[in-house]
Structure 1
Amino acid sequence: MMTTTRRALTAAGLLSLAAPRLARAEVGEVRFAEGFGLSYLPITVMVKEGLVDRRARQLGVGPVAARLLKITGGPAMIDAMLAGQVDFISGGVPPMINLWDKTRSSLQVRAIASMGNSPLHLNTVVPDVRDLAGLIGKGRIALPAVRISVQALTLQMACEKAFGESGFDRLDRQTVSMPHPEAMQALLSGQTEITSHFANMPFAWYEAKDSRITRVISSEDVLGGPHAGAVLYNTGRWRNANPKVFDAVALAIEDAMQLINEEPRRAAEIYASSNPGRIDLAETEAMIRDKSVLEFTSTPMGVMPYVSFMHRRGQIRTLPPSFKDLFWDNMHDRAGG
């Protein structure tokens, strides 16, 4: 028979063999989905620079690989996350709010951080336009996803201010879903039905250089100040299964923000290497340095105006009292809004 001492030694040996497996119980790869534009630069930097792996190793759960997928539009991203094809998705605030509302008793979707403040500009080639009324019946307005994207909701909020509460959807019938690169190309070509584009950076920046372009509205005017251009979010189910890897991602986001703010040229190079087409490094660096165009901070800003509008319009059932209800606790010490 096995003695008590031998049993203890055997158990200790089994535990020592099991320890690495227990430490590796969390995922060894994190999959991020992002769209097109500089609003997503922190995600690109985080993945390309191996920042998640670095933090995961410090927390004792490495190695952890990070993979980046380019997906256009909120609906496609959400479908990918719900199907288990990606772990974190990114995009404008309204789709995240909508998903938070719908999953409160199930998947418990929340955001881990803002990707930074960045205005959206509604640009047009329609001549002599001074306000939204001048766009009525004048071609199509391109944005990433009709009715549900941050651009679509911002346009509705702007229309409500311009045409009254019942006129919030006055321009909805003219909107069309289109990725930003294609929308910019269509707008500047002057050869399609696209006469306006609700653009993020850098596309709004490039469009403004064309003398035919007029900026009709800025999202900062609609929301009353700076706001998150995009947020990164995931499910409570994933976080509960991978608490340390989640913490590694949260820390890696801060590392990415620091790199972008301290080394804008390097950040521009990372962006250029990860996006198709010819990227002007000097111009990209200038955008990154310009805080009025892009302010890279993880603190959520401009969230609650969307919440109020969506609840008033019946798009969400629950009215959260604070942005903290929509974000994980790693953001709860921030002075967001």
Structure 2
Amino acid sequence: MVGTSRTGALLLGCRRLLRAGPALLLAGLALASPARADDAKVRISRQPGFVYLPAVLAEQHKLIEKHAKAAGLGDVAVEWVNLTSGAAGNDALLSGNIDIVDSGSTNMLLLNDRTRGDVKGLCGVGTTPMLLLTRNPDVKTLGDFSGKDKIALPSVKVSSQAVLLQIAAKKAFGPENATKLDPLTVQLGHPDAVAALASPHNEINSHFSLPPFQQRELQDPAIHTVLNSFELVGEPVSNAILYARTGWYTRNPKLAAAIVAAIDEANAAIARDPLQAAKDYVAATNEKTPPETLVAIMKEPGTNFSTTPYGIMLQARHFYAMKTIKAEPKDWKDTFFPIVHNLPGK
């Protein structure tokens, strides 16, 4: 009898609530439902290379976890996934296997166009000059490359190196020949490209590289530089940014802010004590390059660790001219989430 009485009272209350109108019913449901929280876990991909130093420090010192807890999100689990190319990161992002990609800005621009703005940049991570290297003694300029040469890139046609190679080809051979060197390019991760370049018998005799791999490669007297990306375009280019899908960003406003704050803290640590940051990088990655050499890289023109995105429009305009993307962004902010719109990006 007690159970029946309680059930009757509940039904009577529901009838009264329905008579009061839908608005009051929805208000009651809203009060009864807990507030939506950000995700309790985030998965971030990263590639090999010194330009990812802020992300390495964020992982090593658990900076995302720190800022997430300070934002009231509790203990957020952060999973870092190592991938060898931006193309692999893009596939993982679209398939839902990761939440955020840390890769070159060209990879973000490609997905931003193909998803009609669903994928956007979260923040910058770093910029470093990239060197086009070769062990072919006959190659001194771009015009010296021939069919017997093979140039390793992390991704053909769409990686930062591939885009800069096309920009260089336009300057060297004219706009109509921007893709002249594309048939010579081969997709290969940086560690594997280093090994290939070190072997005189490997068909891959050139590599559009990235720190610290290019410094390691140049220790071989048979290898020399053909092109410096910073000298080519005269401005820093973000070859490492974080980007995500709009659904994740909308669902995780506090976590997104915590991630940007973590990268900012890592960048501040780099500026405050470059040698310690380099030592932390070596410890975390088992990098063979001495910390002192990494500090020298930080001082090179074009190296900058910042959440500000650089060179976005330079690459976007090139992509549009090459018909790689269908819609031309009018401003770099068109391709980034509002969280960094206050920064002086380009």
Q: Same fold (TM over 0.5)?
A: yes
| Cα contact 1:138–1:195 (8 A) shared by 2 | no
Q: Distance in 2 between matches of 1:239 and 1:113?
A: 12
Mapped partners of 1:198, 1:161: distance in 2: 17
Listed one character per residue, the Cα deviations across residues 199-220 of structure 1 (whole Å, up to 9, x for unaligned) are 0111112222322222111112
Whole-angstrom distance in 1 between the partners of 2:62 and 2:250:
23
Unaligned runs of 5+ in 2: 14-29
- Alpha-carbon deviation of 1:102? 1.3
Instruction: Report what 1:38 is aligned to.
Output: 50
State the superposition RMSD in angstroms. 2.3
AA aligned to 1:81 is: L
Match of 1:270 in 2: 280
- Aligned equivalents of 1:83 and 1:216: distance in 2? 38
Question: How far apart are 1:266 and its partner, in Å?
Answer: 2.6
**Is 1:124 matched with 2:134?**
yes
Contact 2:125 2:241 in 1 (8 A): yes
What residue number does 1:295 align with? 304
CA contact (8 A) 1:141 1:195 kept: yes
Are 2:344 and 1:335 equivalent residues in the alignment? Answer: yes
Give the partner amino acid of 1:265.
L
Amino acid at match of 2:170: E
Q: What letter matches 1:273 in structure 2? A: A
Q: Give the partner amino acid of 2:144.
A: G
Measure how far apart 1:276 and its partner are.
Answer: 4.3
| Structure 2 counterparts to residues 238-257 of structure 1, below 5 A | 238-257=248-267
For 1:50, the equivalent position in structure 2 comes to 62
What percentage of aligned pairs have identical amino acids? 33
Q: How big is the shift at 1:284? A: 2.6
Q: Is the 8 A contact 1:129 1:214 kept in 2?
A: no
Out of 170, 174, 177, which is 1:167 matched to? 177
Q: How does 1:103-182 map to 2 (within 5 A)?
A: 103-104=115-116, 108-182=118-192
Shift of 1:17: 10
Q: Is 1:92 paired with 2:104?
A: yes
Q: So what's the TM-score if we normalise by structure 2?
A: 0.87
List structure 1 runs of 4+ shifted beyond 6 angstroms: 15-18
1:158 positional shift: 0.9
Give CA deviations for 1:162-186 in whole Å, capped at 9, x if unaligned: 1112211111111111110111121
Letter in 2 for 1:219: S
Question: Which sits farther off after the overlay, 96-105 or 264-273?
Answer: 264-273
- What is the CA–CA distance in structure 2 between the aligned matches of 1:325 and 1:83, rounded to whole Å? 24
Aligned partner of 1:75 among 87, 97, 102: 87
What displacement does 1:16 show?
Answer: 11
| Equivalent pair of 2:281/2:287 in contact (CA under 8 Å) | no
User: TM-score, with normalisation over the residues of structure 1?
Assistant: 0.89
The 1:293/1:221 distance shift into structure 2, 3 A limit, reads: closer
CA distance in 1, matches of 2:321, 2:291: 43
Partners of 2:68 and 2:142 in 1: CA distance: 48
The number of equivalent residue pairs is 322
Secondary structure of 1:319's partner? coil
1:226 to 207, 219, 236: 236
